[in-house]
Amino acid sequence: MTHPIDLAVIGGSGLYQFPGLENATRQSVDTPYGPASGDVVVGDFAGRRIAFLARHGESHTLPPHRVNYRANLWALHHLGARRVVGVNAVGGIRHDMGPRAIVVPDQIIDYTHGRYTSFCDVEGAEVKHIDFSEPYTASLRIALIDAAKQAGIEVIDGGCYGATQGPRLETRAEITRMKRDGCDLVGMTGMPEAALARELELDYACLALVANFAAGCGDEAEISIEEIFAHLAAATAEVPPILAELLT
Ligand code: HPA
């Protein structure tokens, strides 16, 4: 590898291509865990090398529970990435985390099931019990928050991400329970991605883009998917300037 990768970005709903990527090449990586969500696009951004992968595929064909999280993380690690920012669409539970807010969460509660959650899930693999008290890498979280400040973009420092199975949105009762549990945000893709990144000893942090108030948290009786994507488009536009500052 002549040019090491400075940062890998996993794009969520609404971020299928990384804008402003120059000299881009596509890398199809064979992984021991099957196919990743698609090719990894490696290119120059803000004078640095970045690797970009669309979590749901570039045409959004993979629902959250069918994303091959292991293959995705393995492919990025294999290409030389050592720090990863996951961009995730979320619903806001906390009152100050309404549509278009951007949050850098610091905790996770995992409500997902039936996903491959570990690289140990393979016959003969070494069993690792990673420390996950702090599920995101503190230094990368702080760097992201500082980068947003430098870019003049408001982000909320901290919050608990509740990872649900999807692809359906939650019931009001489920969100009430999650609120009681201490969740501030709800999304479908934060896990097992964060845990797998830790198993590979990758630095990992999340930029959570709030697309809607979670069920029962806003004024609307129903959550419209059109509205979700409109808010996401607005929040997604803030991602490249934050990451440009992160890389400088
Ligand atoms: N729930 C779960 N995931 C989401 C939501 C939500 O309300 N909005 C965007 N991703």
ipTM of the assembly? 0.99
Spatial distance between the Cα atoms of 141 and 102, rounded to a whole number of angstroms: 13
In degrees, to the nearest 5, what angle opens at C-alpha 104 toward C-alphas 239 and 28?
55
Q: Ligand 1 within 6 A of 169 CB? A: yes
To test the pocket of ligand 1, the residue of 103, 110, 183, 186 to mutate (highest count of ligand atoms within 8 Å of its CB) is 186
Confidence band for 71, pLDDT divided at 50, 70 and 90: very high
Residue having the nearest C-alpha atom to atom 6 of ligand 1: 91
- Whether 128 has a pLDDT exceeding 80, the answer reads yes
Residue 2 binned pLDDT confidence (cut-offs 50, 70, 90): low
In this prediction, residue 222 carries a pLDDT of: 87
For the segment 25-45, what is each residue's pLDDT rounded down to a tens digit? 999 999 999 999 999 999 999
Residue 63 pLDDT > 80: yes
Our measurement of the distance from residue 168's CA atom to the centroid of its chain's CA atoms, rounded to an integer in Å, reads 18
pLDDT of residue 121: 86
What pLDDT is attached to residue 1? 45
E strand residue ranges, 39-106:
40-45, 48-54, 83-92, 102-104
Please work out whether the CB of residue 88 comes within 6 Å of at least one atom of ligand 1: no
Residue of the CA atom closest to atom 5 of ligand 1? 91
